[in-house]
Amino acid sequence: MGRWQPDARGRLAQAAMELYTERGFEQTTVDEIAKRAGLTERTFFRHYADKREVLFGGASELQDLFADTLAGLPAGTSPMAAVGTTLEVVSAEFRERHAFAQQRHAVITANAELRERELVKLTSLASTAAEALRLRGVKEPGASLAAEVCIAVFKVAFESWTASPGHTELSVYVREALAEVKTVTAEA
């Protein structure tokens, strides 16, 4: 094989996910991932800092997507309208990634350390959204609460979507959860 590998990153991610699913995250080595992808350990480390980053590498892009989308909406957009539009944009990013999301979810659920890391990432996402809402002029505690609702909707919708066979888009679950959170909180 030549030095340049077409989509080495994608092949490594797929190989990693297969191995994490087959034998568990703990039991998989970087060497095995590279071998399964037909690549070297060296190439693995050119793409990922460690085997955990295959699962969490997308987190900072997701954070940027939340922040940038919230920042770019017209002034005067209400916090919940801003949250709704942002979740639509975010959902679109997952359009081709149901199989990966499903495998990733199973791997993370099976490992306490990974579950904790996922919680930390979700909390960072909520902080990012709260900060972006404050930058839009939303006062506290409104900004933090709207951000928490945003992440709660995302989390609940994402879980329903990963548990589904994948024929329905994430955005459908997001819209359902958003409508539901409005109904629930409106009740006396």
Contact residues for its own copies, defined by CB under 8 A: 78-81, 115-116, 119-120, 123, 141-142, 144-146, 148-149, 152-153, 155-157, 160, 176-177, 180-188
Taking the C-alpha atoms of residue 129 and residue 67, their distance in angstroms, rounded to an integer, is: 6
Q: Name the DSSP letter for residue 2.
A: -
Task: Kindly state the tokens that stand for 31.
Answer: 């060497």
Task: Kindly state the tokens that stand for 44.
Answer: 């693995």
Taking the C-alpha atoms of residue 66 and residue 139, their distance in angstroms, rounded to an integer, is: 19
Q: How far is the CB of 118 from its own copies (least distance, A)?
A: 10
What lies within 8 Å, CB to CB, of 15 at 6+ separation is: 33, 34, 36, 37
